[in-house]
Amino acid sequence: MSISDNIRFFQSQLTGTNCRLVTVTKTHPVQKLQEAYDAGARLFGENKVQEMAAKQPELPTDVEWHLIGHLQTNKVKYIAPFVHTIQSVDSLKLLLEMEKQAAKHGRVINGLLQFHIAAEETKTGLTLSEAEEVLQSDAFRSLRHVRITGVMAIATNTPDEAQLRQEFSELRSYFELLKARYFADNEYFREISMGMSSDYQLAVAEGSTLIRVGSAIFGAR
Ligand SMILES: *Cc1c(COP(=O)(O)O)cnc(C)c1O
């Protein structure tokens, strides 16, 4: 199957759902991104700042760039002119830097709060109480150039479907709780980013609105 066939396959899988595809392009050359773009992909996910900043000028301007990897505050400036969504927001400090850099460019950057739901210790992200602490802070409330548009998580790398379902449903319950408590009249807070090549079907069944798919489109990295 070619890249374009794979993009069309995922688009057809998502037809009739509330879920969109983030094409994860990390490690792949620009020419393959262009092939995905030509087949209709518009949301691209990269996990490294330098790589995203190098590819962005080579692609059409209507690509929505999503950063999906851990972001150090001192690197926000390199992607602030164009990044659409930072899916890996894990601290107030990062939000404050996003605010500063987005303001410099007169734009708004979207952010997803990344949660820790996986069993593995190594997977980063906030706990629910850490997220609420951020959302309740005066500093958060003063942000004008950052918009929190939802939540994100990486599930455990396991074939155990019951465990994956449980983790996805946990993230969805965090989304619903935060929506009710902090974003009730906020139309922008609507994204649940969960599901990758190996587990996207379960994630969509559990309410994902953004699946992040790399290897099932481009082959193994
Ligand atoms: C690499 C990556 C993906 C895509 O993983 P695949 O298994 O290749 O689909 C999704 N989310 C994050 C955060 C990633 O780093």
Residue 148 zone, left/alpha/beta (φ > 0; ψ -120 to 50; rest): beta
Report the pLDDT value the prediction gives residue 120, as an integer from 0 to 100: 78
Q: Are 161 and 167 in contact (CB under 8 A)?
A: no
Q: Are 149 and 85 in contact (CB under 8 A)?
A: yes
Report the pLDDT value the prediction gives residue 220, as an integer from 0 to 100: 87
Say if ligand 1 is within 6 A of residue 196 CB. yes
Report the pLDDT value the prediction gives residue 177, as an integer from 0 to 100: 98
Q: What is the mean pLDDT of the chain?
A: 97
Residue 166 Cα, ligand 1 centroid: separation in angstroms?
19
Domain coverage including residue 97: 3-218
What domain count does the chain have? 1
Q: Is the pLDDT of residue 122 over 80?
A: no
Residue 16 Cα, ligand 1 centroid: separation in angstroms?
24
Say if ligand 1 is within 6 A of residue 214 CB. yes
Ligand 1, atom 14, residue with closest C-alpha: 68
- Taking the mean position of all CA atoms in its chain, how far away is CA 70? 11
Distances (CA, A) of 182 to 5, 21, 27, 173: 41, 26, 37, 14
The reported pTM is 0.97
CATH of the domain at 177: 3.20.20.10
Report the pLDDT value the prediction gives residue 221, as an integer from 0 to 100: 82
Say if ligand 1 is within 6 A of residue 28 CB. no
Q: What percent of the chain has pLDDT over 70?
A: 100
Report the pLDDT value the prediction gives residue 124, as an integer from 0 to 100: 84
Determine the atom of ligand 1 nearest the C-alpha atom of 197.
9
Say if ligand 1 is within 6 A of residue 24 CB. yes
Residue 106 Cα, ligand 1 centroid: separation in angstroms?
31
Mean pLDDT within 12-19: 96
Q: Is the pLDDT of residue 154 over 90?
A: yes
Q: Are 45 and 21 in contact (CB under 8 A)?
A: no
